[in-house]
Amino acid sequence: MLVLRTSASLVFFFLAALPFQAVAQDSGGSAATEDPEALVRELYGLVTFPAETPPDWEKVRGMFLPQAVIILRTSRDSTTVFDVDGFVNDFVAFVENSPAKQAGFEEKILSMRSMVLGDIARVSVLYQANIPGTQRPPQKGVDVFLLNKRNGRWWIASIVNEIPTPSRPIPEELQGTP
């Protein structure tokens, strides 16, 4: 019985360590991975692209922990929860089914506030999204990022998104300049 418990404990320990080993293998990255705000800025830069030039989705994936959760406002009254691949697939579908494929897409940071404590960080962003050359006016949104420093670099652990409306105004902390 002791052998069975010890074996089960070792198997559980090994399985629990797998996601962290996957992260540990990719401890490289750009200079942006050394600062949580720089990592967030780089993500916005990667999803902003000119016409006919899609984002580098492998670079985007490499900014997230494998277990990351992304929650996006997908309609006026609902949100959708994605893993990293679901987030990328949703963005690809948006590009393919909108004028963004031919016109490009811009997501510009208007304001950013952050808090860092040891190996955790929260970065709140007010952004403006736009498909250049279309009649649709730019749309503002708020993203809240949680990040974790692991193996000497920052990783995005989660993003939660909201679209401001008159009943959901932009938070005071983001009403300033970047």
Domain boundaries, the chain: 29-174
Query: How far is C-alpha 14 from the geometric centre of its chain's CA atoms?
Result: 28
CATH architecture of the domain formed by 29-174: Roll (3.10)
The separation between the first and the last C-alpha atoms of the chain, rounded to the nearest angstrom, is 61
| φ/ψ of residue 166, rounded to 5 | -55, -35
Cα(157)–Cα(17) distance, integer angstroms = 17
Listing DSSP states for 3-53 in one string gives: HHHHHHHHHHHHHHHHHHHHHHH-----GGGGSHHHHHHHHHHHH-EETT-
The answer to whether 40 and 145 have CB atoms below 8 angstroms apart is: yes
pTM of the model: 0.82
What are the pLDDT tens digits along the chain (178 aa)? 444 433 333 333 333 333 433 443 344 456 788 999 999 999 999 999 999 898 999 999 999 999 999 999 998 889 999 999 999 999 999 999 999 999 999 999 999 999 999 999 999 999 999 999 999 999 999 999 999 999 999 999 999 999 999 999 999 999 975 5
| φ/ψ of residue 152, rounded to 5 | 80, 10
Cα(50)–Cα(104) distance, integer angstroms = 4
